[in-house]
Amino acid sequence: MAVKTEQKNGLAVCHVEGEIDINTAPDIKKAFDKLIGKKEPRVVINLAKVTYVDSSGLATLVEILKNMRSYGGKMKLSNMSPKIKSLFEITKLEKLFDIAVSEEDAISKFV
């Protein structure tokens, strides 16, 4: 599991790699707590290299979204694999998140 953050067009793009599950979710949360601490207004999370998400992982993403909204920040998810997309649908979370097809798509929607 790894989180890399870069600045692109004035917004933060986070590349998450590996699994987001019971074991890694606490570290993911810590990585995003830094961004939240800086009150980053616009964040894109690129999930292209995420192989697996479990319910703790989903809950962590919800928590990150909640914390960002508390200061008016916005967050979009992009590049989900079909397997992960269907997981969002089963858990009825696809309505909660802004889900974009690609990173560029997500960035362009922000601008």
Partner 1 sequence: MEKEVVIKASNVKKKFGDRAILNGISLEIYRGETFVIMGGSGCGKSTFLRHVIGALKPDSGSIHLLGKDISKLNEDDLDKVKKRIGMCFQSSALFDSMTVGENVALALKEHTKLDKSVIDIVVKMKLEMVGLRGFEDLMPSQLSGGMRKRVGLARAIAMDPEIVFYDEPTAGLDPIVAGVIDKLIIDLSKKLAITSVVVTHDMKSVFSIADRVAMLYEGKVLEVGTPAEIKASKNAMVQQFVNGSPDGPIRFFQQKDDYIEQLLK
Residues binding partner 1 (CB under 8 A): 21-23, 25-26, 29, 54-56, 58-60, 62-63, 66, 90-92
In whole angstroms, how close is the CB of 27 to partner 1 at the nearest point?
A: 9
Indicate the residue among 33 and 104 with the shorter CB distance to partner 1.
33
CA dihedral 59, 63, 66, 70 (to 10 degrees): 170
Indicate the residue among 55 and 108 with the shorter CB distance to partner 1.
55
In whole angstroms, how close is the CB of 76 to partner 1 at the nearest point?
A: 19
User: Could you tell me if 99 and 88 are in contact, meaning their C-beta atoms sit under 8 angstroms apart?
Assistant: yes
Indicate the residue among 28 and 107 with the shorter CB distance to partner 1.
28
In whole angstroms, how close is the CB of 84 to partner 1 at the nearest point?
A: 13
Distances (CA, A) of 58 to 11, 100, 109: 23, 17, 23
